[in-house]
Amino acid sequence: MSIVSAGRAARTGGVLESLTRLRWYAAFGVFCFHYANVVGIHDPAVRAALSLGYEGVPFFFVLSGFVLTWAHRPTDGVVRFLRNRFARVWPLVAVTAVVIALIDWSEGGPPSLLDLVYTLTLTQAWVPDHFYAVNEVTWTLSCEAFFYLVFPYVIRVLSRFRPWALIATAIVADAVTAGTRLLVGTHTMSPGLAKEVIASPLALTPMFVVGICAGLLAKNGARLPVGARTARLLSVAALAACWFWSQHPHLVPSPVAPAVGVYDALLVPFFALTIAALARRDATGTPGRVLFRRVLYRLGEASYAFYLVHVAVRDIWMRHWPFTGPGSALLPLLATVAVALLLHSLVEKPAQRLLKGRSSRTGRTAVPHQPTPPTAADREPGTGSDGERTVDLSAVAQPAVAHAREVGSAGPGGA
């Protein structure tokens, strides 16, 4: 099979739009998880399927590591990197936390000042008693903040690894994730200790490392075993297998019971493969289908705001209008989308531009055209086993980082 040249990739351009759209699917999955047990779904099979939406969280951690790596340059300074991450994440965390605290105060009583401090400093995930402080979903942002602090140093080390060493590192990292789940599932421990073992920033760092390894392999031209379409199907099949396990645990010998969180290590490799395959397709300008619809792109852009407010909207809604069935979640969903779009336009983007001190374009960003003479690979491009082009990403990753640098990574914080 031939390798598509940099000339072809540069002429077609490329953006990471698929990953932006994928953020919406993951955020909506988390929405389903948080609504599954409150809207009156009595069928345990349906409830189990919706609860799988939690796996959007580990997906975000892998995606965060991948996109930060994709956009990374050896000349990037640590201070500038952290400033950009702060500009991307903190303003919306601060605004939503203060608003939620004021609403809770008006409806119940004064909020805990300590909870607010933990939230605004993104340190709540280190303290089990304050894990869900103020806005419960921001514990994942606390983890992301730690990832950002260590990323410049981790990428410096992993960038020296050969492909086989990166693959081995990813396997070991995923094994660590599996080990923490087995430890909690096979030993009796307090809820606080269990949180520290499976959900603390340190415990979740291996997922982030898998994303970094996938990003380095992609940028360095590693061949993927499958194309984007097949990778997505494999991820869906893996999720379906987890659901099947939850419904028929007696058919799958395991020391732990099937449950949300237990599936993480099983799904992370498929998530990493899907992310890398979609990035490859975007980088070469290969047109997609469903993922490239404009509305999903806009929802993906606002997915960070959606993620931050969806539980708050649910809780406020429940205080005034109790859920009476699955259909009663439609209006809260629409309300959450509307609030998210407003926050994205009126808070997130302006604050990012202000704090970065320069114009920050977060819309569609095409890669600049760089025409080069046609090569044999241009005339006879190779194809993968599922009909998609096989491409050397080391030749196209650098032009394609323009978009990634503007939108930031796509973790739970969208940063």
Q: Which residue in 96, 176, 93, 18 sits closest to 412, CA to CA? A: 93
Q: What is the mean pLDDT of the chain?
A: 81
Cα(302)–Cα(23) distance, integer angstroms: 9
> Do 49 and 243 contact (CB within 8 A), yes or no?
yes
Q: What percent of the chain has pLDDT over 90?
A: 50
Locate 62 and state its tokens.
């892998």
Residue 396 has pLDDT above 70, yes or no: no
Locate 341 and state its tokens.
């779009």
Which of 88-97, 135-144, 177-186 is predicted least confidently?
177-186
Residue-level pLDDT at 286: 63
Cα(78)–Cα(160) distance, integer angstroms: 18
Locate 81 and state its tokens.
């990197």
Q: Please give the residue that has the higher pLDDT: either 110 or 375.
A: 110
Local confidence band at 415 (pLDDT 50, 70, 90 cut-offs)? very low
> Do 385 and 47 contact (CB within 8 A), yes or no?
no
Q: Which residue in 111, 141, 112, 114 sits closest to 125, CA to CA? A: 141
Torsion sign (Cα): 308, 291, 332, 246: negative
Local confidence band at 291 (pLDDT 50, 70, 90 cut-offs)? low
Q: Please give the residue that has the higher pLDDT: either 137 or 414.
A: 137
Local confidence band at 188 (pLDDT 50, 70, 90 cut-offs)? confident
Locate 66 and state its tokens.
């991948």
Residue 360 has pLDDT above 60, yes or no: no
**pLDDT tens, 139-167?**
999 999 999 999 999 999 999 999 999 99
Local confidence band at 6 (pLDDT 50, 70, 90 cut-offs)? very low
Q: Please give the residue that has the higher pLDDT: either 288 or 279.
A: 279
